[in-house]
Structure 1
């Protein structure tokens, strides 16, 4: 297939405003929102963050089957993008609306319900979004370019949402700051949804092959699809590491670097290199192959986070060098798995003669969602083990053990989890992927 027009790449990539905002802001702010405005204990707050995402592990494969059925019946998955994305925008604002029932348990329950519904809507959006690259193009290197555009726009989306959300909450302060932030980020999500819906109108779609009929067929597919299972395992472990790092940014800015205002700069320093690397990683993938590009990215991230382990004694500018290096690796570990996934889907569809894109995207999204959700939960557990004091006053002093726990959860632990992808990739059997 010929190269995709720039308009199709850009239109598809606009969906990253939806995935970037929802994937970043809850991981960045939901834990401190619970611990520092509602006085929810760290371990409990971690569970609250986890529960809605755990539901998605069950729901997203089902959403994948519905998406495949929509493709077979109507020739398009785009209606799922539209309805799911609108739901995410509305429900995201609801999460941070903080109705103030007057009791911690009631307020926390409200957050759980709103987040559960929002995560469900996000699954309806993200599953077809992840399935589209396997259908938009069948060109091996074009898929890397398409994914690179997606990650480049994702970097912009994360900079806007991940940098802007804390700036809003800190600038306004308190519950009102979170309410305004929820509405603003909800609008960003809505823009991304409408953008990808309109931007993919002329994009190719997959052939109307038979879909996976039921859960037994789904399980059979996963059992036989060894290459997909290995790649999925790598992505899950690394999503867990990224989720832990994101959960720690707010706490690290305040307790490790000593200035809550640095939260936005930390985020920009981490995500900004992804923009610079957008044209570089595809070239590395073309020169050495997608798997070696993936390995190089894991190494860069690991070295960056290892350096951050010394953040308490390093000059601030040196710490930011390590933040940027981790950001370079982050861009690669986002690009290459998503570029390999459509290759595996196409090979499996050719082998079976049946549609697998929606099912594969559903399982993939479930794994990513669970990893990103377990990250804040794991970080919340570290807070509890370190003796972190949950309070309605975010400026309260913390014991040195809590500061150490924050540092390890922000640096060493994410680096170790991402580095685990290297031996897992060595054992993977990605037939046809070089």
Structure 2
């Protein structure tokens, strides 16, 4: 393994602020598409494309599952890549272009008369989106482990990603619904929204590529093959990583459950998409504003794990409070929930992402091998599987409760469907967060243990 002189991975110098900010902005492309699809896609497919909720959610889940098993391969490819731009950065440009194309394709489903052909087309487009997400996100998530070896600087670096996640949420979940309302709320409005997203995705991908040109990186002199048996052994042998992906599997189920938000605001609260946008705006502001607090808590306690637990616990009463939500309730109550859930999510994302490069360095110290892409691949595999299960659960539960799909016409939903929306909104994220807290109690990697791990020459 070699490193360029300007990019020695063991260097103790702090990362320039421009590198931290630029790398963080890179997450906007995948998160914009992910947020838009999590929050708006299922309703778009059921209420405008005319796909039944169970089938629509199953197609979303199937695309994620098919692509999930390719994630370790993408990590392996990025580990083996050699270019004058490093192992990861070429995929920032190519993946950004694919992501911009995919968000337009996903929200531009043609009016195909045949139900079977229409559903097949939706499935194919969703697989393309999942592939684009993989090409960008796995090399991107592999970079922090190379960029800094400092335990707490990783949290600082990841805070910029959380800021960008919040900005992405504003773009996708605030401006998106506002645009839908302004453009009339019909199927064509979704295409207009996607065309607004596409240039933002392209710009932020290029900024990430450009600003990280002087970031530390590593290069392999030889290519190392990772048979599937060795990949599985590597994951199982890295106990902190294995527990982390179990935790992420549980907590990331909430991403798929976000699909119920659009239904809840429409059929329970009786509010337009503009109010849905306002909710996510408050939530995103709280997520950004909470970052210095979570960084301070992590440093004060000396434990990312305990800070993660505190962040998840903060959201539990807010999730249950959705059971008390009714039409025409004070908007202040809605904003209060948004602020609490946003701040909680800010801490959970920050600590979860900060632990990932720690587990990658733990692997390097134990084995002497640079396999960041391999571990990022498994990490995103779990992300997609959990997201697939989450959105599938929403669709299946809605269909079982009698939810009625349509192709743009107004439909009165049965009481059973409304009750299901309530239960999904409150109990699923509550149970997911509680499970994550329990799993975190078994996470073993501390800063002291990481530094004490013997590095193989």
Which TM-score band (shorter chain)? over 0.9
- Are the counterparts in 2 of residues 61 and 366 from structure 1 also a CA contact under 8 Å? yes
Report the counterpart of residue 260 of structure 2 in structure 1. Answer: 248
In the alignment, the residues of structure 2 paired with residue 206 and residue 123 of structure 1 have an alpha-carbon distance, to the nearest angstrom, of: 21
In the alignment, the residues of structure 1 paired with residue 224 and residue 34 of structure 2 have an alpha-carbon distance, to the nearest angstrom, of: 29
- Are the counterparts in 1 of residues 186 and 408 from structure 2 also a CA contact under 8 Å? no
Give the TM-score taking structure 1 as reference length.
0.95
Match of 1:361 among 376, 383, 387: 376
> Does residue 419 of structure 1 match 2:434?
yes
- Are the counterparts in 1 of residues 312 and 433 from structure 2 also a CA contact under 8 Å? yes
Report the counterpart of residue 25 of structure 1 in structure 2. Answer: 36
> Does residue 224 of structure 1 match 2:237?
yes
Q: Which deviates the most, 143-152 or 209-218?
A: 209-218
Output aligned runs, 1:246-395, within 5 Å: 246-260=258-272, 261-288=274-301, 289-312=303-326, 315-393=330-408, 395=410
In the alignment, the residues of structure 2 paired with residue 407 and residue 395 of structure 1 have an alpha-carbon distance, to the nearest angstrom, of: 20
In the alignment, the residues of structure 1 paired with residue 35 and residue 374 of structure 2 have an alpha-carbon distance, to the nearest angstrom, of: 24
In the alignment, the residues of structure 1 paired with residue 225 and residue 443 of structure 2 have an alpha-carbon distance, to the nearest angstrom, of: 25
- Are the counterparts in 1 of residues 80 and 87 from structure 2 also a CA contact under 8 Å? no
Alpha carbons of structure 1 residues 98 and 433: separation in structure 2 relative to 1, 3 Å: farther
Alpha carbons of structure 1 residues 431 and 279: separation in structure 2 relative to 1, 3 Å: closer
> Does residue 186 of structure 1 match 2:201?
no
Kindly report the root-mean-square deviation, in angstroms, between the aligned alpha carbons of the 2 structures.
1.8
> Does residue 120 of structure 1 match 2:134?
no
In the alignment, the residues of structure 1 paired with residue 152 and residue 295 of structure 2 have an alpha-carbon distance, to the nearest angstrom, of: 8
- Are the counterparts in 2 of residues 14 and 196 from structure 1 also a CA contact under 8 Å? yes
Aligned pair count? 433
Structure 2 gap segments, 5+ residues each: 1-11, 450-457
In the alignment, the residues of structure 1 paired with residue 137 and residue 165 of structure 2 have an alpha-carbon distance, to the nearest angstrom, of: 13
Shift of 1:237: 0.9
What do the CA deviations read for 1:167-194 (whole angstroms, capped 9, x no partner)? 2223223121111122221222112211
Alpha carbons of structure 1 residues 271 and 419: separation in structure 2 relative to 1, 3 Å: farther
What do the CA deviations read for 1:55-75 (whole angstroms, capped 9, x no partner)? 121011100000100159974
- Are the counterparts in 2 of residues 166 and 263 from structure 1 also a CA contact under 8 Å? yes
Give the TM-score taking structure 2 as reference length.
0.91
In the alignment, the residues of structure 2 paired with residue 7 and residue 15 of structure 1 have an alpha-carbon distance, to the nearest angstrom, of: 12
Report the counterpart of residue 58 of structure 2 in structure 1. Answer: 47
Shift of 1:303: 2.1
Output aligned runs, 1:146-161, within 5 Å: 146-161=157-172
Q: Tell me the SS of whatever aligns to 1:312.
A: coil
- Are the counterparts in 1 of residues 260 and 421 from structure 2 also a CA contact under 8 Å? yes
The structure with more helix, counted as a fraction of residues: 1
Q: Tell me the SS of whatever aligns to 1:411.
A: helix
Report the counterpart of residue 176 of structure 1 in structure 2. Answer: 188
Shift of 1:213: 2.6
Shift of 1:431: 5.2
Q: Tell me the SS of whatever aligns to 2:441.
A: helix
In the alignment, the residues of structure 2 paired with residue 97 and residue 27 of structure 1 have an alpha-carbon distance, to the nearest angstrom, of: 16
Alpha carbons of structure 1 residues 433 and 248: separation in structure 2 relative to 1, 3 Å: farther
> Does residue 61 of structure 1 match 2:72?
yes
In the alignment, the residues of structure 2 paired with residue 142 and residue 49 of structure 1 have an alpha-carbon distance, to the nearest angstrom, of: 36
In the alignment, the residues of structure 2 paired with residue 112 and residue 31 of structure 1 have an alpha-carbon distance, to the nearest angstrom, of: 13
Q: In terms of Rg, which structure is larger? A: 2
Report the counterpart of residue 454 of structure 2 in structure 1. Answer: none
In the alignment, the residues of structure 2 paired with residue 381 and residue 135 of structure 1 have an alpha-carbon distance, to the nearest angstrom, of: 41
Report the counterpart of residue 196 of structure 1 in structure 2. Answer: 208
Shift of 1:137: 0.4
Alpha carbons of structure 1 residues 395 and 171: separation in structure 2 relative to 1, 3 Å: farther
